[in-house]
């Protein structure tokens, strides 16, 4: 099998920019949006595994989401 597709361009689904592996539909995932990579060309914005994205949540998660996680 060939795995030469670029991240985000694989017909089987999105690839996690964090670990470079496919994000399965049954895995926890989160869509990340980095200000420096608005269209995903740098391979940062896109669908990440939930665990891979966790270290970035505090950096990029909007304040509203942060409040929601605190129970507001």
Question: What character string, x for contact with Zn ion (CB under 5 A) and - otherwise, covers 2-41?
Answer: --------------x-xx----------------------
- DSSP H stretches of helix in 1-72: 50-53, 57-60, 63-70
Closest distance between Zn ion and the C-beta of residue 72, in Å? 29
**Considering only CA atoms, which of 12, 57, 10, 13 is closest in space to residue 32?**
57
- Whose Cβ is closer to Zn ion: residue 20's or residue 38's? 20
DSSP bridge pairs for 49: 29
Give residues in contact with Zn ion (CB under 5 A). Answer: 16, 18-19, 49, 52
């Amino acid at each position: 099998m060939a795995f030469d597709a670029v991240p985000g361009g694989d017909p089987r689904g999105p690839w996690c920019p964090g670990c470079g592996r496919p994000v399965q539909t049954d895995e926890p995932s989160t869509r990340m949006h980095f200000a420096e990579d608005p269209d995903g060309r740098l391979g940062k914005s896109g669908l990440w595994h939930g665990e891979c994205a966790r270290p970035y949540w505090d950096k990029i998660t909007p304040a509203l989401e942060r409040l929601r996680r605190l129970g507001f």
